Structure 1
Amino acid sequence: MHIGILVTGHVPDDLADEHGDYGAMFRRLMAEEGFSFTTWKVVDGEFPDSPEDADGWLITGSRHGAYEDHPWIPPLEQFIRDAFEADRPIVGVCFGHQIIAQAMGGRVEKFGGGWSVGPQVYHFPDGPRIVQAWHQDQVTQAPEGAETVASNDFCAHAALLYPRKAYSVQPHPEFDDRFVSGLIETRGPGVVPDTQLAQARNTLGKPLDSKALAHQFATFFRERRIA
C-alpha cells in the first residue's frame, strides 16, 4: 500500500540534520508496517495532482495555525475534501488533525488554556496512552459526523474518527525524547512559559505508546478502523 505524506511544516534548522524532515519521522514511525511512501511538501506549494496519486494520505504537523492566511491552506482543505469524496483514507497528526477538522466544518483555535508540551496521557477507548505533545492550537468543535475517540483534561478532542474516511490525533507519535528536547531548547524559549518547559524536560524518559498509534494508523489505512 502506497501512502502519500503531505508535509505542512519545516523542522527547525538546528534539528534537521539529526532528525530529518517530518516526512522522514513518519517513515521511521511506520517502518514496521510495510508501506511505501512519497512525500509532497505542501507547505512549499508542492501538491499531488489528485487524491488518486496514493492509496492513502498522511498529513503532518506544522508550526503554522490552520486558521492562518497562507496560500497553501485553502488548496489543502480542498484536497482533503476531494480525498473524502474519492474514498482515499486520511490520517492527520497535530496540524494534520486540525486541518482535517477545519476542512470538514469544525473549529480550530489558539487554546486559551495555553500549551501542552512533552509526554501526556490520553484516554483512548482501550485505555490510557502516553504520547508526546507540542501544541497550543487545538480542535475546539468537532465536525458533524466525526467521533471523538480520545481526550484528556487539556484537550477535549485529542483524536477524531471520521468513519471509514479519516482518523486524526492531536499528539505526536513521531516525536521522540531527543526531538522534543531539541524543541524545548530551540522553539520553546519566549513562546512556552519557562516553568512549563522545565516540567516537560523533567518528564522526558517516560515509556511512550508511539508504536501503538503507528499500528492504529496502519489499521485505519488498511481496514478503515482503528481497533
Structure 2
Amino acid sequence: MHLALVDASLATPHAERNFKREVDASLTVFNANEGEIPPPLGSPAPPPQGDGHRHFTFDGAIISGSQSSVYDDRPWIQELSRWVEGAIADNLPILGVCWGHQLLAQVLGGTVKGGSYELGYVEVEQEVDDPIWDGIANPFTVFATHSDHVVALPSGATLLASNETGVQAFRHEQVYAVQFHPEYDLQTAEAMIHSKDLPQSDLQAALDTCTEANVEAARSPKRIFGNFLDHVDALRRQPSV
C-alpha cells in the first residue's frame, strides 16, 4: 500500500520519524511548507534513472500537524488546499492529524478559529461507533498540542470524538480527521511542550501529564493508523463504477 505523507510541520524532525514508525505502509513524503505538494493523482513523475515513466498513484494520504494556522495567507497552504480539494473529489481516502484535521475541515467548508491552548495528555470521548475506533477504549488518552480549533464541522460531516475543548475527530465520506496526535512518542511530546512560548506554569502542567501511565494508555489509539489502512484497503477493493 502506497500513501502520500504531507509533512506540514515546518522542518521539525518529528513528523516523518513518527509516522514512518507507526504507519505500516509505503510512504512518499512531501514537505509542503517547502513547496513540495503532491501532484494530481496519476500525474507522470520523472523517470528514475532512465527506467521509464512511473506515476504518482497513491492509495491514500496523511496530512500532518504544523506550527502554522490553516487560515494563514501562505502560498503553500493555498496550493495544498487546492490539491486536497482535487484529491477529495477523486475519492482519495485522507487522514488529517491536528493541523491536517483543521485543513480538511476548512477545505470541506467547516470553520477553524484560534482559541485556548490544549497541551499535554488529555482524555477524549468517542461520540459514535465507527471502524476507526476498532480496538480503542472509550474514553481514551492521547497527546494534544493546538490552539486552533474546528468550531464548525463541514456540512455532512459526522462528529466522531470530542472533549471539553470541542471537536476531536470527524468523518466526511472517505475522509477522517483527528485533532490529537496518535503518532507521538514521549520524546516528541516533551519536545513539543518545551518549544511552546507559554507561561512556565502552563508548561509544567503539561509536563506533569507525561506520566508512564498516560504514555502507556496512549498506545491504544495508535490503532487509528491500522484502522485507517483497513479503510483504505476496503476502498481499494471496491469495484470501479
TM-score by length of 2: 0.81
**Secondary structure of 1:203's aligned partner:** coil
Q: CA deviation at 1:23?
A: 2.0
Quick one: which amino acid aligns to residue 181 of structure 1?
E
| Alignment deviations for residues 142-166 of structure 1 (CA, whole Å, 9 cap, x no partner) | 1101111000011x21101012x20
Query: Conserved in 2, the CA contact under 8 Å of 1:97 and 1:168?
Result: yes
Query: Conserved in 2, the CA contact under 8 Å of 1:7 and 1:23?
Result: yes
- The equivalent of 2:4 in structure 1 is 4
Q: CA deviation at 1:95?
A: 0.4
Quick one: which amino acid aligns to residue 159 of structure 1?
A
Matched, 1:161 2:171: yes
Identify which of 137, 150, 170 aligns with 2:179: 170
- The equivalent of 1:130 in structure 2 is 141
Matched, 1:43 2:33: yes
In 2: Cα distance, 1:211 partner to 1:106 partner: 26
Q: CA deviation at 1:218?
A: 2.0
Query: Conserved in 2, the CA contact under 8 Å of 1:118 and 1:204?
Result: yes
Quick one: which amino acid aligns to residue 6 of structure 1?
V
- The equivalent of 2:119 in structure 1 is 117
Q: CA deviation at 1:223?
A: 2.8
Quick one: which amino acid aligns to residue 210 of structure 2?
L
Residue correspondence of structure 1 range 74-113 to structure 2 within 5 A: 74-111=78-115
| Alignment deviations for residues 165-210 of structure 1 (CA, whole Å, 9 cap, x no partner) | 200100011111121111222x12xx23322211111111212134
Residue correspondence of structure 1 range 54-65 to structure 2 within 5 A: 54-65=58-69
Matched, 1:179 2:173: no
**Secondary structure of 2:27's aligned partner:** strand
In 1: Cα distance, 2:14 partner to 2:120 partner: 19
- The equivalent of 1:23 in structure 2 is 16
In 1: Cα distance, 2:234 partner to 2:142 partner: 23
Q: CA deviation at 1:21?
A: 4.1
Please report the RMSD computed on the Cα atoms of aligned residues, expressed in angstroms.
Answer: 1.5
Unaligned runs of 5+ in 1: 13-19
- The equivalent of 1:202 in structure 2 is 208
- The equivalent of 2:162 in structure 1 is 151
TM-score by length of 1: 0.86
Q: CA deviation at 1:98?
A: 0.3
| Alignment deviations for residues 32-90 of structure 1 (CA, whole Å, 9 cap, x no partner) | x3x11101111111112213421111100000000111111111111111011111110
